[in-house]
Amino acid sequence: MDRPVPAHNRPRRCVFCGRYYVPDARTSRVQKACSRPACAKARKQSAQAVWLSKNPNYFRNRYATYVKEWRRQKRERTEKENERNGG
Ligand SMILES: [Zn+2]
């Protein structure tokens, strides 16, 4: 009589290429794609897209708080240097 196959050893279908694969035992709960390089890349990109959709203001806030401040400081430095050089 066959022993039941543990859940983490059951073949699953890759959400990207549609092929069946046996998930890694450690990541089987979250793994949705096979380990082919193309699918790993697609998985990372889709994870990034999901993350971005959850954090839509991340880059905007980053610009507002970091880049803007950096530009202001740079402008002040440049103005001071210009003064020192006689304009
Ligand atoms: Zn795949």
Which tokens is 22 given? 């046996």
Task: State whether 50 and 83 are in the same domain.
Answer: no
Ligand 1 centroid, distance to 53 Cα (angstroms): 23
What residues form DSSP beta bridges with 12?
21
Domain housing 72: 57-87
Task: State whether 73 and 33 are in the same domain.
Answer: no
Task: State whether 42 and 77 are in the same domain.
Answer: no
**pLDDT 10s digits, 11-38:** 889 999 999 998 877 777 778 889 899 9
Q: What percent of the chain has pLDDT over 90?
A: 33
Ligand 1 centroid, distance to 37 Cα (angstroms): 8
- Residue 44 carries which side chain, given as an amino acid letter? K
Whole-Å CA distances, 84 to 11, 14, 46: 71, 63, 51
**pLDDT 10s digits, 31-42:** 888 989 999 999
DSSP at 25: T
Ligand 1 centroid, distance to 58 Cα (angstroms): 30
